[in-house]
């Protein structure tokens, strides 16, 4: 885990301005899953809330949301974007998760933790925070096939971003080198960040959630939104009895 949090101010701004599409697509299916679990107007903790794209949808559906994110810049944006929710800076897996009805983490958030032990710690903490019948919904990127680095980019009105993603299948890690440019006055300011993700198969994560006490389902979609290849949604329910 990097000492400094990912998503410094310019990359947080760009994520908010140009990368909220995953959250927007996932939100209706996520809300349906929560409703199916009996969670309406409930206390939801959103891990890795970013700039609040999913928070906004949760609040609009009547939930009371606490957003937690390691990036101070993301939390600043989230507070401005969704003033009806509460936000705090915290880093997984050690961030305190208060008692709540549901916990969500959307868009590869848990992948940002380093090593299997972090997942185990997080799953135990979430289990303790939930009441019987409470749910934990999150998506993950899984290990893919070995291949050459993948280059991606997007351009907005006042920004541009390029990323080079390299997977190490043997180690189960992914490195994403991100170079962003944001217009400041007449110039573009450059920022470089390297994000390191841990990739574990959904089946293994399901087993580890079961070990923590959850009943687990794995799908490849949030409602009608089909995830990209090598991504899965895990829905973990704390049993009502036991
Ligand atoms: C891909 S963004 C997704 C943001 C938001 N969930 C969305 O869908 O727009 C990943 C988020 O996870 C946060 N994050 C990364 N590592 C984290 C950690 N260890 N603890 C808490 N948040 C973390 C980042 O700051 C970032 O906001």
pLDDT tens per residue, range 53-72: 999 999 999 999 999 999 99
Q: Name the closest-CA residue to atom 1, ligand 1.
A: 107
CA 119/CA 125 separation, integer angstroms: 10
What number is the average pLDDT over the span 192-214? Answer: 97
CA 135/CA 213 separation, integer angstroms: 12
85-137 per-position pLDDT tens digit: 999 999 999 999 999 999 999 999 999 999 999 999 999 999 999 999 999 99
For residue 124, give the H/E element and its range.
Answer: helix 116-129
Asked if the model's pLDDT at residue 1 lies above 50, the reply is no
Q: What is the pLDDT at residue 177? A: 97
Q: What is the pLDDT at residue 129? A: 98
Q: Take residue 140 and report the two structure tokens written for it.
A: 């993950």
Which residues have C-beta within 8 Å of that of residue 17, sequence separation ≥ 6? 156, 159
With a 6 Å cutoff on the Cβ, whether 46 touches ligand 1 is: no
Cα angle at 202 between 24 and 17, to 5 degrees? 25
Q: Take residue 115 and report the two structure tokens written for it.
A: 């090593």
With a 6 Å cutoff on the Cβ, whether 104 touches ligand 1 is: no
Q: What is the pLDDT at residue 242? A: 55
Q: What is the pLDDT at residue 189? A: 97
Q: Which long-range contacts link 238-242 to residues 24+ away (Cβ below 8 Å)?
A: 238/127, 238/130, 238/131, 238/132, 238/133, 238/134, 238/135, 238/136, 238/213, 238/214, 239/132, 239/213, 239/214, 239/215, 240/132, 240/133, 241/132, 242/213
In the reported structure, the alpha carbon of residue 91 is separated from the centroid of ligand 1 by a whole-number distance in angstroms of 9
With a 6 Å cutoff on the Cβ, whether 52 touches ligand 1 is: no
| 3-state secondary structure (DSSP) of residue 144 | coil
* DSSP-assigned beta bridge partners for residue 193: 178
What number is the average pLDDT over the span 196-221? Answer: 98
Cis-peptide into 226, omega within 30 deg: no
DSSP letter, residue 39: -
CA 81/CA 233 separation, integer angstroms: 26
Nearest to 107 by CA among 237, 232, 236: 232
With a 6 Å cutoff on the Cβ, whether 236 touches ligand 1 is: no
Q: Are 26 and 139 in contact (CB under 8 A)?
A: yes
Q: Name the closest-CA residue to atom 10, ligand 1.
A: 109
141-194 per-position pLDDT tens digit: 999 877 899 999 999 999 999 999 999 988 999 999 999 999 999 999 999 999
With a 6 Å cutoff on the Cβ, whether 71 touches ligand 1 is: yes
CA 86/CA 64 separation, integer angstroms: 8
């Amino acid at each position: 885990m990097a000492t400094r949090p990912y998503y410094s101010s310019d990359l947080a701004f760009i994520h908010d301005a140009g990368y909220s599409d995953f959250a927007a697509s996932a939100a209706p299916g996520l809300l349906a899953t929560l409703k199916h679990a009996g969670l309406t107007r409930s206390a939801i903790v959103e891990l890795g809330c970013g700039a609040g794209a999913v928070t906004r949808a949760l609040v609009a559906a009547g939930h009371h949301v606490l957003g937690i994110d390691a990036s101070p810049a993301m939390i600043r944006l989230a507070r401005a974007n969704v003033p009806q929710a509460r936000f705090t800076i915290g880093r997984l897996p050690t961030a305190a998760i208060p008692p709540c009805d549901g916990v969500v983490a959307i868009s590869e958030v848990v992948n940002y933790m380093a090593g299997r032990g972090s997942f185990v710690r997080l799953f135990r903490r979430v289990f303790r925070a939930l009441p019987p019948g409470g749910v934990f919904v999150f998506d993950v990127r899984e290990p893919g096939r070995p291949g050459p680095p993948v280059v991606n980019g997007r351009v907005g009105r006042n920004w541009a971003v390029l990323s080079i993603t390299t997977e190490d299948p043997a180690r189960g890690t992914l490195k994403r080198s991100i170079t962003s440019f944001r217009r400041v006055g007449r110039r573009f300011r450059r920022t470089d960040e390297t994000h390191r993700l841990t990739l574990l198969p959904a089946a293994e994560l399901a087993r580890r959630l079961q070990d923590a006490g959850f009943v687990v389902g794995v799908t490849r979609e949030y409602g009608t939104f089909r995830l990209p290849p090598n991504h899965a949604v895990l829905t973990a329910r704390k049993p009502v009895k036991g």
